[in-house]
Homo-oligomer: A and B are copies of this chain.
């Protein structure tokens, strides 16, 4: 049970790159990090327009002297302070993630980064190596993976409640880009531009979310090979707006993934179903407080977040008892709480006994997109992972 008491010796001194006024994602980073005093927002390069960024930072309570022109200035100036930032969040468009994350690590800073961490697996491996060598934390915000029922799913798999895992179904198909909205919507436009978004649109933008949920719930999830069928249903798009992926997993299980931006009428539809030899579970992001548990031959059971019958690990991050809804912000808060605890442990050279979406999870997502794109380019043929 989380009740707001401090879990760290001191809040992590924290800065942001991007996430300025008008950025929805910027707010959820701040709201989650600042909850329960795990982080303290002391610096920022919030905006490509420095004046606007400073005005915004001040409005957030940041000292105007610590509202910087860009991340380079921030890293340099903060490094000179005894109370300089210890961690930085990168909430900019995709194309800056790699260089900023690398610079942060080189500056000795822990980093929280929006996915994708970078555009190529080679870059990702470089960042993995750097983080490991420096003993620094890189957290990636697969937001719903912090929801307590994901932990419940993981515990059920670990305890053998599902038996041997056979099939994993993942999807994140939304509908909002069923017309060429990118012609009028800037945030949509850069997502469709290979120079700014990387080698993929929906695979990287949404597909890696349920991929990580699956990894979180099924420890040992490892892909043997995959094939991917993509299409731009809006023909002017350079990147795919729909993708189907089939995967053979090591050990004999199979997995499928559906990512879409043209699934008319759907909001997110992020869903993961895990089918075992004894039972299945299914989780759906639009009703995150319920987990369907389906033992073959028995009535379907609806597990509720906060239920006394859940595994203790799935109740640790309860903020309120069952029946009350916890949503996306609560899931993110859990992630940022783990990031903070991991950062403090790293600072102290201590080991942690919990998981979070880390640099390796981020790298795995980048690799998956790369392999999917490779398959799609090769006529949707099978590619070794």
What is the interface of chain A, defined by CB distance below 8 A to chain B?
1-6, 21-24, 26-28, 30-31, 34-37, 56, 59-61, 162, 166-167, 169, 174-176, 178-179, 227, 229, 231, 233, 242, 244, 246, 248, 252, 254, 256, 258, 260, 262-268, 275-280, 285-289, 293-304, 307-309, 319-330, 379-382
Contact = CB atoms under 8 A, between A and B. Distances in A.
* Shortest 8 CB-CB contacts between residues of A and residues of B: A265-B294, A267-B323, A325-B327, A327-B327, A299-B301, A5-B59, A268-B323, A3-B27
Contacts of A254: 229, 231, 242, 244
Given A4-B27, A21-B5, A61-B37, A280 B325 contact: no
A379 B227 CA distance: 12
B37 A35 contact: no
Contacts of A61: 6, 37
Task: Please report whether the interface of chain A is mostly helix, strand, loop or mixed according to DSSP.
Answer: loop
Nearest to A267: B323
Nearest to A287: B287
A37 B24 CA distance: 18
Contacts of A24: 1, 3, 320-321
A296 to B, nearest CB: 4
A301 to B, nearest CB: 4
A286 to B, nearest CB: 7
Given A244-B246, A319-B329, A325-B325, A280 B266 contact: yes
B233 A166 contact: yes
Nearest to A277: B178
